[in-house]
A and B are shown apart, each in its own frame.
Chain A
């Protein structure tokens, strides 16, 4: 495994998602866990932008970019 200090947040997110043993072989469960992780992280990142249209617009683009919503 690479040095954690040099990893990008996305890589950390992939490794940091803790899945129950029976979920590890289930791509649907993995996908749902990944989406949930991105959704929570984006909500935290955008916690200071309030309800502004501009902030919401960027968050929606990031949500699409990270695949945080089911396609």
Chain B
């Protein structure tokens, strides 16, 4: 029997890597106006690994630096605090789960897809006048429930992947058939447990909803970003597939074809700069 109850998942949250305090503070500060930049900057600076990863991303080709950025202060001066905050959160979240996934789970396509969705969500948020950083983080974490299932319920998840492979069905269908729960519900439970902003937890929980009606704007953005990131084929996974798209999603987002073409081009270009 491979089914898992949400209570089982939440009971095992103590086995999950706890997010470093600095990450929680970065995430919590994203919807605050009165952020003490110096305090957060010095906290990022105290974590050498996080500083190094953030600077590596800041120095990636996308940002086209004329000279190497070597400190968090320099990065903020050139890229802006909001961008550096997103970069630091990305670096920290990837680092938190590094080395914890079983070898049978290919983590590279997972993070490539997550970053593509994050970049796309930020781009969509720009066109819809939403909080870009919050969209980026929600996009980055939309599949975090998969990491929980993979790390905490490995045999069950392997059975899920075998089912998916056997029937060539969508991941969500396979999870529901084998586990009786899916990664969106797990992600919702986990990010609630981590006390993420409500709009972010809602977006993570709803990214595979069967309808786009009554969803908050951020949830629509993450739902669309997931679909677009799969369609752009950026994960490097031969078995990648676009999930069924809910009726009226594009209409509700109110983006015409020309804007969507711009979003595709911009997502691909920015992804090249931010992918690990």
Q: Give residues in A with beta carbon < 8 Å to B.
A: 5, 7-10, 12, 41-42, 44-50, 52-55, 57-59, 61-62, 64-65
Contact = CB atoms under 8 A, between A and B. Distances in A.
Chain A interface main SS type: helix
Contacts of A45: 230-231, 233, 240-242
A21 to B, nearest CB: 27
A36 to B, nearest CB: 16
Interface string B101-115: 000000010000000
Given A48-B170, A48-B243, A49-B242, A54 B249 contact: yes
Nearest to B232: A62
Contact of B245 (A44, A58, A65): A58
A53 B247 contact: yes
Nearest to A4: B236
Interface in B242-276: 242-250, 257, 260-261, 264-265, 268, 271-272
A44 B241 CA distance: 7
Contacts, number: 71
Interface of B: 108, 168-170, 227-228, 230-234, 236, 240-250, 257, 260-261, 264-265, 268, 271-272
B233 A61 contact: no
B244 A65 contact: no
A52 B228 CA distance: 15
A4 to B, nearest CB: 9
B266 to A, nearest CB: 12
A42 B230 CA distance: 10
A64 B268 CA distance: 15
B260 A61 contact: yes
Contact of B261 (A44, A46, A61): A61
A66 to B, nearest CB: 9
Contacts of A46: 231, 241-242
Contact of B234 (A9, A52, A58, A64): A9
Contacts of A65: 261, 264-265
Contacts of A61: 257, 260-261, 264
A37 B170 CA distance: 23
Nearest to A54: B245
Q: Which 9 A-B pairs have the closest CB atoms?
A: A54-B245, A9-B233, A55-B245, A48-B170, A48-B241, A65-B264, A62-B231, A46-B242, A45-B242
Nearest to A12: B236
Given A48-B242, A54-B249, 19 more contacts: A8-B234, A10-B268, A12-B236, A45-B230, A45-B233, A45-B241, A46-B242, A48-B243, A49-B243, A49-B244, A49-B245, A54-B245, A54-B247, A55-B245, A58-B231, A61-B260, A61-B261, A62-B264, A65-B261
Nearest to B235: A9
B244 A50 contact: yes
B233 A52 contact: no
22 contacts: A8-B234, A9-B233, A12-B236, A41-B233, A45-B233, A45-B242, A46-B242, A48-B169, A48-B170, A48-B241, A48-B242, A48-B243, A49-B243, A52-B245, A53-B247, A54-B248, A55-B245, A57-B250, A58-B242, A58-B260, A61-B264, A62-B264
